[in-house]
Amino acid sequence: MAISYNKLWKLLIDHKIKKKDLQQMAGISASLITKLGREEPVTTTVLMRICAALKCDIGDIMEVIQDSPFLNVVNHKESGGKV
């Protein structure tokens, strides 16, 4: 599974909010903005601060991307496992 914050970036664009503005509005550090930009996991506390600042729900700023069953089989085969 992977995390995608594409919804957050689209929301910021739609509302003409810069990442620096979000940082100040939510009271989060620049390193957390960087983690979000790299699609890295952050704490739920950070996500809730962002939601409070943007007056939205967590589903409005992120989504969990399920792995493709096909990719699981390919990765398993490539690692030497039998299918």
- pLDDT, residue 74, reads 47
Host domain of residue 63: 2-78
Output the domain CATH number for residue 10. Answer: 1.10.260.40
Is 83 domain-assigned? no
Domain count, the chain: 1
Is 68 domain-assigned? yes
Q: How wide is the angle at C-alpha 24 spanned by C-alphas 16 and 6, nearest 5°?
A: 50
pLDDT tens per residue, range 12-71: 999 999 999 999 999 999 999 999 999 999 999 999 999 999 999 999 999 988 875 655
Q: How confident is the model at residue 81 (pLDDT cuts 50, 70, 90)?
A: low
Q: Which of 46, 21, 25 is nearest to 5 (CA)?
A: 46
**Per-residue CA distances from 55 to 8, 11, 19, 51 (Å):** 12, 11, 16, 6
Please say whether the beta carbons of 63 and 4 come within 8 A: yes
- pLDDT, residue 66, reads 84
pLDDT tens per residue, range 5-14: 999 999 999 9
